[in-house]
Amino acid sequence: MNAMFKSKTYVYVLATFLAVVMAKQVHAHNTNDVSHVVIGGYDPVAYFEAGKPMQGNGYHTTTYNGGRYLFATKENLKKFETNPVKYAPQFGGYCAYGVAVGKKFYSDPKRWKIVDGKLYLNLDKDIQKKWTANLNGYITKADSNWKDIEGKHPSEL
């Protein structure tokens, strides 16, 4: 009976340990940006090359700087992989105005602007209008804020 008790205790401790480890992995997965599809799955290269947003697909994907990117074509994927800094959206694809005010707002892939060769996205039409009214000021403030908030989850801000 004593051996049976030890065996059950061992199984219970092991099961508890595994549950804790798995819970931590699930939590890490949920906050890990690699699982996050940047720009809602839109192709970042298309903004530059086609001059418009184009939906990417699951056939052409890559990860960069903690996020997963989808591309409309194999050619766009290759261009991105050759020079991701050129094509990746600023602030990990979060709303540029949001970053300027110290927040991480998800962006609408159809609310975008290329400024000085960099892709910026905004939350919606109204926010984009406000952001555009003081473009350089908001970009400067966002660049400064990004250093402090880049590694934080949006819920922490």
Q: Give 22-51 pLDDT, tens digit per residue.
A: 333 333 333 334 568 999 999 999 999 999
Q: What is the pTM of this model?
A: 0.77
Packing angle, helices 125-133 and 135-149, rounded to 10: 110
Confidence (pLDDT) at 66: 87
Average pLDDT across the chain, whole number:
85
pLDDT tens for residues 91-133?
999 999 999 999 999 999 999 999 999 999 999 999 999 999 9
Confidence (pLDDT) at 2: 58
Of 88, 85, 91, residue with least CA distance to 103: 91
